[in-house]
Chain A
C-alpha cells in the first residue's frame, strides 16, 4: 500500500488519476446507458434439476407454457351480450397476429348428427342467440358438452375462459399486453382474470421493473439521507456515492459489452451497490479526518491508505466474495448477478482506496469531524460492558442461537406461486378465480412415450386417466384419447377409443394440424401429454395429490404388457385377460359416472357379468331406418320404403353375403335386383347394418346398467342432452367388453409405454431443491472464501472464525425469524445468507481491526476502543443499507419485497450481533498488528488510559 500512497499524494499523479477515473466513469456511464432489458423468466429455471429439465422439455415440445388465459367473471350466467363480447374478442385475437389459435366458447368446434344423415360440423355456438329462447337453447347445448363445461365456461355459467396460444417466436410480453387491452375493450364492465405463463411472467417482470424504476431513487435517497444525517458531511457522502456510482456504471458497461441484459434480479443491483459500495469511501474519508487532526495532509493520506486501506480492502474483498459466491449456483441469472455485484464492489473499493485519497490531495480537503460524536463513548461503554459481563452475554447469545436454530429448522423451503406474487395480487386473484370457477389452476402433466397408434397404448393411457380422475384433489384429466374418442364418435357413432391401429392412425390423420391437439400429442404420434387439473387449494394438498399421482403412475399404470386374445367367452378366455378387460371397463365406467356427478359405484362390477339384455328388433330397425332415409345412404329412401327395407335387413343372419342383402332389399322394395337403388344399398348397407345392431345392443345394455344404478344420486335423468350423453358414454365403455384382445400387465411383454410426471408442482419441487442446493452451495463457498480472507487478514484461524461468528448468529436469528413468521425460503431469500455474510462480515473486520488493548490494559479497553472507533460507523452503515433495502418492501414485486425486507432486517441484526458477539468472544489484545493503541477518535478517557496505563488490569489470556 505504501508505494500506492506515495504515488497518490503527488498532486500530478492525483490529478491524472482523478481525471482518468472521471473520464472512464463517464464513458462507462454512456455505454452502460444502452443496457437492454430481458423478461425471460424461464432463464431462472435451473437446467440440471431433473424435474425442471423435464418440465422445460415437455413444455417446449407441447407449448404448454405459452398459453395465455383470459377469465371473465360475470355477475350472472352468461347473457347474449356476454357471448357477443366473447365472439368479438375471439375474432379480434384470432386476426390480431402473433397467435396460433384462440379457443373460447364462441370458437370451439362441435359436431352433431345431421338430420340429413352423417354429421354436421360447426362451431358449438354456430350463431349468436338473437333472443332469450335461443339463449336458453345455447345454454342447454353448452351444458351438455362435458369437455366444454369446466374448461371454457363454469358449471354455473357465470364465468367464461378464453385460451390464446401464441405462435412460435411471438413476443409473449407484447402479446399479453395486446390481449389484455383487447379483453378490457370487449368486456368493459366485467372483471377480468388474466393468467397463464405470458400474463404471470409479464406481471412479475413488469412489477419488478416498475418497482425498481420507482423505488431505486428513493432507496438511494434513503441511503444518502441516513449518511448525511449521520456524518453531516456532504463531500464525504458524495465521494462515497461517486465510488459506488462508478462501480454501477462500470458494471452496466460490462453488461453492454458482454451483451448481458438486465433481468429481474440484476435490476436490484444498483440498490445493493449503492448501499454497500458507498461505505468504503466514507470510511476512508472519516479515517483521513481522524489522522489529519495530528498529521499534515500528505502524511494523513498516506496513513489512511496504509492503515485503513487494508481494512477497507479486506471488507470489500469479503463482500465481493460473499456476493461472488452466487457463481456456484446453477442459475445463470444469479451467477451473472454474483459476478457483476462482485465487480461493482471491487470497483467501489478500488476507487475508495485510490480516487478518494487523490481527490483529498487534489482539492486539499481539510479534515472535518465526521462520525456520530457522543455516540462513540456510548459504543465504547457498550463494548466494554459486554466484555465485563462475558459469561452472562454468552449465555444469552447461546440461548438466542438455540432459539434461532430451533425456528430456523422450521423454515418451509417448499416453493409455490406464493413465492412470486402476493395474495391479492392480480395473478393470485386469477388463480383463485380459476379454482373457484374452473376447478383449479394447477396442472400436473404426464408425458407418455409410446406408439399412440397402438390401441393398447391408448387404452392404458385412458385407464390411467380414469383412475387419476377419481382421486381426491384431482378435478379433471384431459388426454389425447378424449379427442380421438370424440372423433371416433363423429365417424362411427361411438365415443370410444379405436380398437385397431389403422383406425387410430386414420383418426390421428384427420386431426393433423389441429392446434388444440398439438397440446396433447406430438406430430410423430410417439409422445402424448396428459393434463391433470388439481383442485388442491394449498401447497400441502398439492403435494399430497402429487404424491398420490406419482404412486399411481409408478404402481398402477400398465406400462409393460403382452397382448392376450379374447374370444368373448368368459368361461374360455384366460382369466387374467378377462380380469384386465373388466378392470379397463370398470375404470372407464367409474370415471364416466363420476364425470356426470355420481359418487364412486362399487356396485358396478357384478353388473358387468350380468347377462346383457338383447335389443328389440324395433330398436335396431329404427337406427337402420335413419340411415336409409339419410343423404349418407347412396339411395335415400322415403320413410314408407325405409321401414320394410330395414326390417328385411335386420332379419338377415350375421355373416350374410351382399347377394343376400340385395335379395332382401329388392323384396322389400318390390324392385328388380338390378334396380340401381337395390344395387347401391346392397353394397352400402353392410356397415350401417352392423353399426345399427351394435349400437342398439350397447344402448340397451347401457340403459340397463344406468337403470340398475338409480340409487346413485346426481346422475342426469330423462331425455335431457346430458342423460343421452351419459348413456352414450356408458355404452361406449361397455363396448370394450367385446374387445378381441387386451393388454395384460407383464414385465417381459412386448407392449410398452413410459410415463413421466411433470407440471408446475414438480417445477416448484425442482425449484425448491435447486434453492436448497444453491443456498447450501453459495453459503459454503461464501463462508470458505470469506474465512480464508479473514484468516489471511488477521493471520490466525481463531480470528477468522471470530469475525465470522457474528454472521453465524445473525443467520440463525434471521432464519429463525423466518421460521417463526412462516416466511418461506425462495430464490430471493436463498440469496440472503451470502449477502449477509459478504456485507455483514465487514462490520467484524472493522471492529476487530480497531480492537486494541495495551499490554497492561484489560480486554475491555480493547473492546471500548473498538466500539468507540467503529461502533457508530457500523451502526450507520447498517442503518443506511437497511434503509435502502427497506424501501424495496414498499413495492409490489414479491421477490423484491422478500429480499428487501429480510436483507434490511439482516443488516441491523448483523450489526447488533457484531457489536456484541465479537467483544464477547474476543480473547486477544489486538487483531491488526498495525492498529494504534492511541487514536484521535478515541474518547478522552481511553486516550488518557493509553497514555498512562491503569494499575488495575485483568490478567490477559
Chain B
C-alpha cells in the first residue's frame, strides 16, 4: 500500500503503540481486531457460530414491485454448518423439510411423495424459493471459509470489511462488503457485488437479541438492486439456543420422519 512520507514516518511508533494497546485493551474486541481484516472476519465467524445450536421460527415476506407479497414461515434449526428447515406456510409446502449439509449439498423431504431427494448444486446467487436470499446466502455460515478479508474502514461503531474469494474457492459473488458492529462483532450490513463491481444486493441485519454472549438478529432485510429494489424481510424469533440438538437431528431419518 502506498503511503505518504509523513504517514510512513509515523508507522513504526504507531506499531509499537498498537502493540502496547493490544495488551492493555485485550478485553476490548474493537481494539484487539483493529488493522486486520481476516482477524475481524474470524471474530465475525466465531460470533456467528457462537451458539452450538439454535432453533428459530422464521417468517419471510418477499415484496417484488408489481406482484403480490410472497409469504412463508418455517422453523430453522442450526448446528455448525448444518441446517434443518421445516416449512409451515404456504399450505402447499407445509411439512416440506430441507436439510442443508454444506454450501453444495442438501436433501429435501417431499411429504406428498413421502421421499427424500438429494439435491447437489453449484454455488449460485439464484433466489431461494422466490426470495431475494440466494441459496449461497442461506448456507454461508462462515465467511472465512471462502473469503479473505481486508479492513476497508473503521469508525467508532464498527469496521467495514471487503471480502474477496480465496484462490480456488467458488463463490456466488465476486466481492462482499460487510459492516461489522464493534458491539457484538456481527454483521449489520452486507453488500454483494459482481465481478464488474455492480452492487447487486444489500442485506441489513438488525434488532440483535443477545443471550449468554450469543447474539442473533431478529430482522433481516435483503434488497436486490437489480430488480427494482425487490426485497425480502425475514423475522427471526429465537426459540431455543444451545439446547443440545443431536447430530441425528440433521440426518436423513430425521428429515423424513420429522423428529
Contacts and interface: CB of A to CB of B under 8 A. Distances in A.
B226 A121 contact: no
B60 to A, nearest CB: 11
Interface string A470-514: 000000000000000000001110000010101101101110111
A717 interface: no
Interface in B89-137: 90-93, 96, 105, 107, 110-122, 124, 126-127, 129-131
Given A506-B113, A684-B252, A100 B227 contact: yes
Contacts of A121: 119-122
A503 B111 CA distance: 8
B251 A170 contact: no
A122 B110 CA distance: 20
A95 B226 contact: yes
Contact of B117 (A96, A98, A118): A118
A92 B68 CA distance: 28
A946 B93 CA distance: 99
A489 to B, nearest CB: 11
B110 A506 contact: yes
A631 B87 CA distance: 23
A114 interface: yes
B118 A514 contact: no
Interface in A910-934: none
Contacts of A109: 126
Contact of A114 (B118, B130, B257): B118
A367 B86 CA distance: 96
Contacts of A169: 65-66, 228
Interface in A141-180: 167-170
A123 B90 contact: no
B198 interface: yes
A126 B117 contact: no
Contact of A116 (B118, B121, B122): B118
A97 B130 contact: no
B253 interface: yes
Nearest to A502: B112
B68 A95 contact: no
B129 A513 contact: yes
A329 B46 CA distance: 71
A95 B62 contact: no
B130 A513 contact: yes
A116 B120 contact: yes
A369 interface: no
User: Which of B121, B130, B256 is most buried by chain A, counting CB atoms within 10 A of its CB?
Assistant: B130
Contacts of B70: 512-513, 523
Contact of A687 (B72, B114, B118, B120): B114
A663 B204 CA distance: 54
Contacts of A518: 67
A425 interface: no
Contacts of B145: none
B131 to A, nearest CB: 7
Interface in A89-128: 91-92, 94-100, 109, 114, 116-123, 126
Contacts of B256: 683-684
Contact of A506 (B96, B126, B230, B252): B96
B90 A509 contact: yes
Contacts of B129: 510, 512-513
A632 B111 CA distance: 16
A509 B90 CA distance: 8
B117 A168 contact: no
User: Which of B111, B196, B226, B251 is most buried by chain A, counting CB atoms within 10 A of its CB?
Assistant: B226
B116 A509 contact: no
A630 interface: yes
A95 B228 contact: no
B120 A509 contact: no
B118 A513 contact: no
Given A167-B228, A169-B228, A506-B110, A119 B66 contact: no
B40 interface: no
A491 B121 contact: no
Interface size class of B (residues with CB under 8 A): 35 or more
Contact of A491 (B67, B105, B110): B110
A635 to B, nearest CB: 9
Nearest to B131: A513
A516 to B, nearest CB: 12
A167 B65 contact: yes
B177 to A, nearest CB: 16
A523 to B, nearest CB: 6
A683 B257 CA distance: 10
Given A91-B194, A122-B121, A506-B92, A97 B226 contact: yes
Nearest to A630: B118
A170 B64 CA distance: 13
B200 interface: yes
Interface string B213-233: 000000000000111101000
Given A491-B113, A503-B113, A506-B92, A120 B120 contact: yes
B130 A512 contact: yes
A95 B127 contact: no
A168 B66 contact: yes
A116 B106 CA distance: 12
Contacts of A168: 64-67, 228
A100 B72 CA distance: 21
B252 A634 contact: yes
B121 A492 contact: no
Nearest to B255: A634
A675 interface: no
Interface string B229-257: 01000000000000000000001110011
A866 B56 CA distance: 96
A259 to B, nearest CB: 24
A492 B253 contact: no
Contacts of A98: 226, 228
A738 interface: no
User: Which of A97, A98, A498, A513 is most buried by chain B, counting CB atoms within 10 A of its CB?
Assistant: A513
B70 to A, nearest CB: 6
Contacts of B110: 491, 506
A211 B198 CA distance: 37
Contacts of A510: 93, 96, 129
Contacts of B105: 631
User: Which of B64, B113, B200 is most buried by chain A, counting CB atoms within 10 A of its CB?
Assistant: B113
A680 B115 CA distance: 14
A97 B225 CA distance: 7
B122 A508 contact: no
A513 B90 CA distance: 13
Nearest to A107: B126
B122 A122 contact: yes
Contacts of B64: 100, 168
A95 B198 contact: yes
Contacts of A492: 113, 115
A769 B72 CA distance: 46
A121 to B, nearest CB: 5
A88 B228 CA distance: 21
Nearest to A500: B112
Interface in B129-182: 129-131
B112 A95 contact: no
B92 A634 contact: no
Nearest to A518: B67
A509 B96 contact: yes
B115 A687 contact: yes
Interface of B: 62, 64-68, 70, 72, 87, 90-93, 96, 105, 107, 110-122, 124, 126-127, 129-131, 194, 196, 198, 200, 225-228, 230, 251-253, 256-257
9 contacts: A99-B227, A118-B117, A120-B121, A168-B67, A503-B112, A506-B96, A510-B93, A632-B116, A632-B118
Given A126-B122, A512-B90, A687-B113, 17 more contacts: A100-B227, A114-B118, A168-B65, A168-B66, A168-B67, A491-B115, A505-B112, A506-B111, A509-B87, A512-B72, A512-B130, A513-B129, A514-B130, A631-B105, A631-B118, A680-B252, A687-B115
Task: Give me the 3 closest cross-chain CB pairs, A-B, nearest first.
Answer: A513-B130, A168-B66, A118-B118
